Structure 1
Amino acid sequence: MNHINRRSVLLAGLGVAGAGALAACSSGSGGSTSTPSLVGPDDAVVAAAEKKRGTTGRTRQVTLTAARAMLDLGGGVMADSWAFGGRTPGRELRLSVGDTLAAELSNQLPDRTTTSVHWHGIALRADMDGVPPATQAAVRAGRNFTYRFVTDAPGTYFFHPHVGVQLDRGLHAPLIVEDPREPLRYDDEWVVVLDDWVDGVTGTPDEVYAELKQGMGGMGMDGMDGMDGMDMSGMSNMTMSSASSGASATPSGSGGMSTKFTLMGARSKLLGGDAGDVKYPYHLVNGRVPADPDVYTGKPGRRVRLRIINAGGDTAYRVALGGHRLTVTHTDGYPVQHEQADALLVGMGERYDVLVTLADGVFPLVALAEGKDAGGMALVRTGSGGAPMPTVRPEELNGMIMTASRLKAADDVRLPTRKADRVHRIELTGGMGKYDWGINGKRFDMGDPTANPVLVRQGERVRLDFVNRTAMWHPMHLHGHTYQLGTDGPRKDTTIVLPKKTVSVHFDADNPGRWMLHCHNAYHGEAGMMALVAYQA
């Protein structure tokens, strides 16, 4: 197999091959030694669920051309990458609740490169979810595929490939589903996409992954195989040059110790220790570097809704707008009881909506790369004044920092109290030593996509217990559903699970099909921290 096609198959194979381990360790009727009968895309239960989605009768038709592009990231920084329509982020898609999206993917990527589009956070038909080969065949170079589905829930979403580590290229864009009966009152919107960037600058995501999967021993650090339980704080100001250079470790301000791509010693109290694996040369806000930032221009006193999306591959961001407080209104598309904050912690795949009333002047919107001593920046300009330095760190970054665990679901979206019909224990395992990220002690291989999945049945209330056995945090994302944190926490599809902690989430099995459950760190997921959640026929 060529490299890209192998990774395409691996992606879904990872999720399904290890799912049997999950089913065997779960309560309820999930475990089975024989292949269960699973709901397929043409089953009557899928058609019945589809009929329940209210539609406006309107169809929005778009073409998404995935192709190689030379991207201008600002400040003279050019990146030879892949993108939708020659730009990153790609052009925003905006629809109304009940509209049908007909999006034709045209794969114009280099020869033999397969791809797909996953509609992150959308509860859509499973066969439109964009996960080869679990829900479709990967789209080959030179071929097209049309995704067609109803957008039946308002919110802030985005889309990206679900093949290999293509997420860490420029292939992503916002998807906004508007509520025609929007209860919030504001004057304007600003969509803010955060991204960590390596592609076409210092290397490619495939090169990053090739280095990471060697583990520490493969990088000439044989004595560090058991490092995952160690306190790495003493290494936080050390940098190791690329193994090929032969240079020894020397002090530096990089915020970690690394080979060419691999970062170690990135520390964050908010994330419980190790903050990330990858050393990125740039962190972007709306596709721009801090030295040449994106600018939102408004007027003092106007109330603006910020829709903040973390499209990064390996970085959580602490986000603050200098001189302002934030009113948190939504997370992952769903409303929460409003809370005030100085800053937000946003993991990969998470989205937050906030309201701000703009002051008079020029203010930095800073996305601090948590634990990595770097960050991105954009500007809000409502009056005269010079732009702050690209390295500015507003005091709000050290104020009250909002995390999902502090939020409560709004009354109208809170799940009704109900005992779980089925409980699955999802143990997150592995580490940097061998780069063996997995679930229940196993990295997944390219097995049968339907072999022994995590089973649920239509109509059940399901509880997932994410038990993090590792020394690193993981943003766990469930496709096709939103779950609730605890009994009254926010409704989400992606949540941060801190090291050595357990997070329990609940969801109603109301969208029959086959769905991925995985860490949204692009490299952890590709290494094997995935499973397939499937409805039993």
Structure 2
Amino acid sequence: MTITRRKFLEAATATAVAGLVQPVLAQAASPDKVLTAQTGQIEIRAGQKKLDIPVWGYGGASPGETLNVEQGGTVSLSLKNELPEDTTIHWHGIRTPNNMDGVPGLTQKAVATGGAFQYRFACDDAGTYWYHPHANSAEQIGRGLCGPLIVQEQRPLAVDRELVWVVADWQVTQDGQVSHAYSNMHDNSHAGRFGNLITVNGQRRPLIDVQPGERIRLRLINAAAARILSLDIPGVSGWWIALDGQPIEPRGLRGDPVYVPPGGRADVVLDIPTGMDPGKILEIADATYRKQRNTLASFKLSGKQVRGTPLAAPQKLADNPISLPNLDGAELKEITFEGGAMGGLRSALLDGEKLPIRQLAQRGALWSTNGKIWSSLDEIAQQDKLFNLDTGKSYVFRLQNRTAFPHPIHMHGHTFQVIAVNGKKKSTPEWRDTVLVFPDEQVDIAFVADNPGDWLIHCHVLGHVTAGMIAAVRVG
């Protein structure tokens, strides 16, 4: 049995203008900057209840601090590990050198408790990115270990204000405790782990004061383990202007839905309306799951009107310096994902040994990539890679989802163009680093293999990674 895009979403319960300002471009992080991964606590109010939620966070906070850098600038900092287990930092969406990618066993040695690791890399691409561990990801990210990384354009979009939102969800028990069941057979074999408490920057349904006529740039980061986001903001005009940090032709919020999958990011320009009464509440909701509309946050109209005349629609941001693939000479590689509940997987190679589905399930190996499953990052590092790619050559990866659930497929070290869906070519291919592939869907992505090293390609539903939906390619 498979679930189509529509059935899944139904069934799951689920340029410069006077007065505008440009964001101050931050200086590159200093070499002596330290990010400390440590335990902490956040306070969340849910109705009349106050929940004290223990977290793992950078500086003990969840999300961690927003790292800002100018396009072309350098991030240079030290990770200090004060957690009770190994950790790393992966810079999601940034095309770092291979030894800065933060994958333990594959690109670096894991940072042990009490240890440290120096990260240093240039940020060539402007946009909205984030950082998170790649060791025991389902639990470490699930406990709140993540933060935003913002690379400001050399010529930033003129807006009145920028907001950075990290959306996460938590499983909270009836007695107000966070469930630490970050990975289990049911969730790992189905759509993943969904929390019952959604937060924006560690707050439940925050209320944000806005001024009539204000133009806001919202940078949205989906740090949830499995939840797909799609914004609905009645009464507010807006445009999607970037996805996964990469500029797109601005498109209105009222058009076809834009899905922001786990790991994905979206930049939205919002124009706060005029002519409404002070105190008016404007709700920002996730409308992905048609049987459950979840309020993420709300705007409250207050203060002096910024302008009375609506601004023109924003112009497209400048493209990032990414090599265009040569589609005429690109080599096609097919990647087929199978497994999970209601899937047709009967057997697969687990670390080189062919096993029937029953034995695979007993070992927690539930998803295969081209008929293979690697049990750990160490096995991925030691065994043959999914593909060996020539440096500088163009490739098309044909992603085929033969499972009953959607999968956000993330590729490390490269940014790719989505060039076709189900054989239908895109008239204007857009850049991504995380693409959502629905059940029975085929998505073609194209890129130039211009970043040497061993790079992961995996589903960003965290429980699916735990259950084997992860592989690596070698460039060079």
TM range (shorter): 0.7 to 0.9
1:192 aligns with 2:122: no
1:505 aligns with 2:445: yes
TM-score of the pair, normalised by structure 2: 0.77
CA offsets 1:59-108 (integer angstroms, 9 cap, x no match): 53421111111221234122122111122111111110121111211111
Residues 1:460 and 1:204: Cα distance change in structure 2 (over 3 Å)? farther
Contact 1:284 1:376 in 2 (8 A): no
Which amino acid is 1:155 matched to? G
209, 212, 216: which one aligns with 1:304: 216
Q: Which residue of 1 aligns with 2:107?
A: 135
3-state SS of paired residue (1:190): strand
Question: Aligned-pair distance for 1:326?
Answer: 2.2
1:173 aligns with 2:134: no
1:85 and 1:372 map into 2 onto residues whose CA distance is 37
1:95 aligns with 2:69: yes
Contact 1:159 1:172 in 2 (8 A): yes
1:352 aligns with 2:324: no
Root-mean-square deviation over aligned CA pairs: 2.7
Q: Which residue of 1 aligns with 2:15?
A: none
1:214 and 1:415 map into 2 onto residues whose CA distance is 36
Contact 1:426 1:465 in 2 (8 A): yes
419, 424, 429: which one aligns with 2:333: 424
Q: Give the structure with the larger strand fraction.
A: 2
TM-score of the pair, normalised by structure 1: 0.68
Structure 1 residue ranges without an equivalent (≥5): 1-55, 216-263, 265-275, 385-406
Q: Which residue of 2 aligns with 1:162?
A: 134
Q: Give the structure with the larger helix fraction.
A: 1
Contact 1:192 1:286 in 2 (8 A): yes
Question: Aligned-pair distance for 1:153?
Answer: 0.9
2:474 and 2:109 map into 1 onto residues whose CA distance is 18
1:338 aligns with 2:250: yes
3-state SS of paired residue (1:68): strand
2:37 and 2:194 map into 1 onto residues whose CA distance is 26
Greater relative contact order structure (CA < 8 Å, 6+ sep): 1
Which amino acid is 1:282 matched to? L
Question: Aligned-pair distance for 1:440?
Answer: 1.8
2:456 and 2:152 map into 1 onto residues whose CA distance is 26
CA offsets 1:454-484 (integer angstroms, 9 cap, x no match): 2111110011100000010000000111100
- Count matched residues: 393
Contact 1:289 1:376 in 2 (8 A): no
Contact 1:428 1:469 in 2 (8 A): yes
1:531 and 1:512 map into 2 onto residues whose CA distance is 16
Contact 2:325 2:448 in 1 (8 A): no
Residues 1:198 and 1:84: Cα distance change in structure 2 (over 3 Å)? farther
Residues 1:378 and 1:144: Cα distance change in structure 2 (over 3 Å)? same
Structure 2 residue ranges without an equivalent (≥5): 1-25, 275-279, 304-315, 343-360, 420-425
CA offsets 1:222-251 (integer angstroms, 9 cap, x no match): xxxxxxxxxxxxxxxxxxxxxxxxxxxxxx
34, 39, 43: which one aligns with 1:72: 43
3-state SS of paired residue (1:102): strand
CA offsets 1:315-346 (integer angstroms, 9 cap, x no match): 11222223113211111111111111236421
3-state SS of paired residue (2:466): helix
Contact 1:436 1:528 in 2 (8 A): yes
Residues 1:287 and 1:57: Cα distance change in structure 2 (over 3 Å)? closer
Identity fraction in percent: 32
Residues 1:350 and 1:329: Cα distance change in structure 2 (over 3 Å)? same
278, 295, 298: which one aligns with 1:379: 298
Which amino acid is 2:466 matched to? E
2:341 and 2:167 map into 1 onto residues whose CA distance is 25
1:449 aligns with 2:381: yes
1:108 and 1:57 map into 2 onto residues whose CA distance is 27
Which amino acid is 2:170 matched to? W
